[in-house]
Amino acid sequence: MTDLSKKPGEAPGTAPARPLSKRTTAVHAGVRRSQYGEVSEAIFLTQGFVYDTAEAAEARFQQAGPDEFIYARYGNPTVRMFEERIAALEGAEDAFATASGMAAVSGALMSMLKAGDHVVSSRALFGSCLYVLEEVLTRFGVEVTFVDGTDLDAWRAAIRPGTRAVFFESVSNPTLEVIDIAAVSELAHAAGALVLVDNVFATPIFSRAISQGADVVIYSATKHMDGQGRALGGVILGTREFVRKTVEPYMKHTGGSLSPFTAWMLLKGLETMDLRVRAQAASALALAEALSGHSALSRVIYPGLPGHPQHLLTLAQNGQGGTVLAIDTGSKEAAFETLNALQLWTISNNLGDAKSIVTHPATTTHQRLPDETKAALGITPGMIRLSVGLEAPEDLLADLRQALPPG
Ligand SMILES: *Cc1c(COP(=O)(O)O)cnc(C)c1O
């Protein structure tokens, strides 16, 4: 079982004979033990590293070995443990950890693009992702075409020879549209474009994005990896070549690296992530089923419900519907009344947390968008996003029932 980890003073372990499940990998992968043989991963809270001689410093700056570090902005043993564990979990060759999910999104895009490049992106994006694609990249001369991500013909029409990259959230926030990773990847690869997937809502537990065709997978670790609302973090996963030759030089010189303390917190978060995310997804399905048909709701959106437009794709791509659902109460007034009447659910804007969280996207996370854009994306005034936590689902349902108008 310790094949995935390093024992004191040993070289990194060899691959085990039988592939281990994600649940096991999330506990053991990437461990680097110091000479003390500690059980829990050590926090190397240091910016720098000492060289025995001037010659050793020169040699390390020329080519750092696998256990050699130079400066925490470039890498750190605790951060490296997190990178190796999440890479093993995602089935990626390598990973670069970042200070937040947005540092990962912007770092992945900025590190690989230059003026004159063309990018195709789905339109239904987290507000900050939309800002990076619409405002930042275009300012540096990158051309961005936005499409309806669920429409394969739209992708086909927008991707052209010379398109450098496609970008999308595999499950969109907050409307929970599901994009076909395999089909979009096939179109992108035929044109020579790289596929970058923001995979937050799929979670590393249910993701098979790389085997489905994604070249680069991006997570906000702030969400399910921490899972307890403590820290910001992110990660860019891909081939060793992409991560070390394209992403690392950009990230290490521009400064969006993850702190060792946060990396340690995220390592501990990964150990329980499988159990947490599965329990949260089971509760989300139970709530979606129980709320379907409630007379106070015009819609219950959950990719795990048979009525969702991409239900079959969801099952094929992720196996289940995830930890987030959305309901439509019909108006801003009804949504606010419901939010204010909830006693157990917390009004906030994180997701993937142990605590169940309700968000009114139209006035918070997506407030910046013009009304036409909100309407086009399906972010209605009555929409409430529900991030399902670790509480007992019957308590969560009872609280929703008492807060919604009688149905
Ligand atoms: C939260 C989120 C981000 C940004 O992550 P931060 O850690 O808050 O920077 C990016 N994409 C999606 C889909 C998200 O949900």
* Ligand 1 atom closest to 105 (CA): 10
Residue 11 is predicted with a pLDDT of: 45
CA of 103 to the centre of ligand 1 (A): 9
Phi, psi of 198 (to 5 degrees): -85, 110
Where do the domains of the chain lie, and which CATH numbers do they carry? 272-403 (3.90.1150.10)
Within 213-258, where are the H helices? Answer: 240-241, 248-254
Distance CA 132, CA 141 (A): 13
Task: Say if residue 270's pLDDT is above 70.
Answer: yes
State residue 18's pLDDT score: 79
Q: Which of 109, 121, 128 should be mutated for ligand 1, with most atoms under 8 A from CB?
A: 128
- DSSP letter at 71? B
Ligand 1 binding pocket includes 169 (Cβ within 6 Å): yes
174 lines ligand 1 (CB under 6 A): no
- Tokens in use for 180? 């076909």
Residue 315's Cβ-count burial label (10 Å; 0-12, 13-18, 19+) is middle
DSSP state string for 99-132: SSHHHHHHHHHHHH--TT-EEEEES---HHHHHI
Q: Looking at ligand 1, which atom is closest to the CA of residue 172?
A: 13
pLDDT of residue 232: 98
Give the list of residues 6+ apart from residue 121 with CB closer than 8 angstroms, or none: 133, 144, 145, 146, 147, 166, 167, 168
Distance CA(214)–CA(181), nearest Å, equals 7
Q: For ligand 1, is residue 322 a contact (CB within 6 Å)?
A: no
Could you tell me if the CB of 168 is within 6 A of ligand 1?
no
pLDDT grade, residue 314 (50/70/90)? very high
pLDDT digits (tens, 9 = 90+) for 114-130: 999 999 999 999 889 99
Rounded Cα gap, residues 139 and 204, in angstroms: 32
pLDDT at 234: 98
Q: Locate 186 and state its tokens.
A: 């096939």
Name the residue with the closest Cα to ligand 1, atom 11. Answer: 126
Report which secondary-structure segment, H or E, holds 87.
helix 77-90
Q: Quickly state the pLDDT bin for 1 (edges 50, 70, 90).
A: very low
Strand partners, 217: 197, 237
Which residue's alpha carbon is nearest to atom 15 within ligand 1? 200
Cα–Cα–Cα angle for 107, 124, 187, rounded to 5 degrees: 75
Residue 309 banded pLDDT, cuts 50, 70, 90: very high
Which tokens is 311 given? Answer: 């239900």
Separation CA 62–CA 128 (nearest Å)? 37
Residue nearest to atom 2 of ligand 1 (CA): 220
